[in-house]
Structure 1
Amino acid sequence: MPRRSSPTPLASYRAGPVHGRRVPRPVAPGTVHRLRVVARRPGRPGPIVGSVNDWPEGTGQAGAGGGDAAGAREHVAWSGRDGAQAFAAVEAATDWLLGYPFVFRALARKIDSGHVLVDYGCGPGKVADHAARLLGARVLGVDTSPEMLALARGSGTAVAEFHLVDGDRTVCLPDGGADAVMCNHVLASLPTEAAVLSVFREIHRLLRPGAPLVLLATDPACSGTEYASLRIGEPGWEYGPGDALAVRLRRSDGTWQEMANHAWPVDACPPLLERAGFRNVVQHRPTVEEAFGVVDAEFAASRTWSAERANPPLVITTAFAV
């Protein structure tokens, strides 16, 4: 259960054995935290840079939380048609600064045009669509929600393909058929370690040996911080794996919505990935300074990003199937 405490500095963690002790180790924002040595492949593209028009409004693939009491506040479940439409209306400015562009950059270093990229938990499909255009990959978006997939397929600009997850299995996709998988903010919907392991094992099944998973998640250690488009949890609380936490998201119309979510601390993911068959786990916390070399300069300069500068809330985890 979450417990009340004094705010603590943001920290990354070194993962020990799967059932061993995890040792907190403060790391400066932007540090690449390596759990295994990963060699870079030569000749891969550099930073992902596009026109300001390439960064969609109301992308609906936002991370957890956000904002103050201004505007409408609702408890929203993402199930059903109304939930899917509410999710599609999320602004996700912080994610488009410190999240998705870094996911795309990590993928661009590992896959080529024409490769198969699965977006596991694609929601209304805006991020999958953007990845397909930017990377030139064949993007397959999968989700457990028929309503989300209906929105994705109904987009007049959709260039990705979309499929339903049946139970815990993506029955339409074969074993080892994916050259890469991205999984953005899916952990926040999973309440238990067993549920997380089930998702990781299904992703592992989809990937060919040696192929990467790029995972985007919010850090619950940033609880209570007001970001441009999100707030995670409550000030002064610490959250353990699977703990429920309230989050707020800013809509593209400037209002806010509130929902329930689940916390997965940064150090909880590497051991679970290893149990699911992944190795060479690397975690990276992007900073605003880095973003100026990755995203469009006009978008990066469009806000002050003061909270994002002080305490970056997003973590990119990369792991490889074996």
Structure 2
Amino acid sequence: MISPAARDALQGWLDAQKALKGAADNTLEAYGRDVGGFLAFVTEHKGEAQGLSALARVGVADMRSWMAFTRGKDVGARSLARKLSAVKSFYRWLSEREGFDATAVLSARAPKFQRKLPRPLAPDAAQDLIETLEMQSENPWVAARDQAVVTLLYGCGLRISEALGLRADVLPMAEALRITGKGGKERIVPVIAPARAAVEQYVRLCPHDLTPDRPLFRGVRGGALSPRAVQKVTQAARTQLGLPASATPHAMRHSFATHLLNAGGDLRAIQELLGHASLSTTQAYTAVDSARLMDVYRNAHPKGR
């Protein structure tokens, strides 16, 4: 049982995350689960509900116990690092608000883990996937819709939530889009001619009234198109082409970034196009490029064979 004071503090922190940082609802839910789980552990670990003064006394040994307990529940290193990051953020906010030293919590070290590299498609595979989407539906407007969505993911580097979040007020589609990404961060994304053409084809065929205040991409019954529908049609297309399971809608965004980098794109510019808050996130694509070059080297060099 979490004490009322701790529960109120958690809610206050979540409200601050939304108001000051524009955290999305899904992010807030995850934060609530992670920090709520930590507070529940502290209560059980100490044998009683912990008020704010007790939370201020959480020490290094308590943090180690929580991390060991969490790992014992088959939580991976990456997930534990995410939970610890949320707990630290909560304690940073709480310590400033209540005036206590949170060094014991803030100094806890996250477990090391191997950061997953993006898994992009080769340029010809990305193009084949987009073209094959047209064959997945007998309904011409649905086929055009699916092609338009995935072309935006690949041509503009959009997240699927960003593409499906577009309203019809972007029509006619201009040469650039203003996208609101994670944390409410806005960015301007150029729209290449093939992407504009794909959207125009979909708009011509779409039987639904695309009023400016409604979603641009519609499901068969006229409601907002779901991410799951895009994932399913992409899965069917990749199966037809014999592409790996990593060929997902999100992989098209990875492909956009990797292909730009391979063509000599500036890392900072790619960061802006993708809407990454940190350059270190974008730098993962340099590791992908380096890994690809090493594969080429090993396959081509006489001693690598």
For Structure 1 versus Structure 2, the TM-score category normalised by the shorter chain is under 0.3
Q: TM-score, normalised by structure 2?
A: 0.25
Q: TM-score, normalised by structure 1?
A: 0.24
- Specify the structure having the higher radius of gyration (Cα): 2
More helix by share: 2
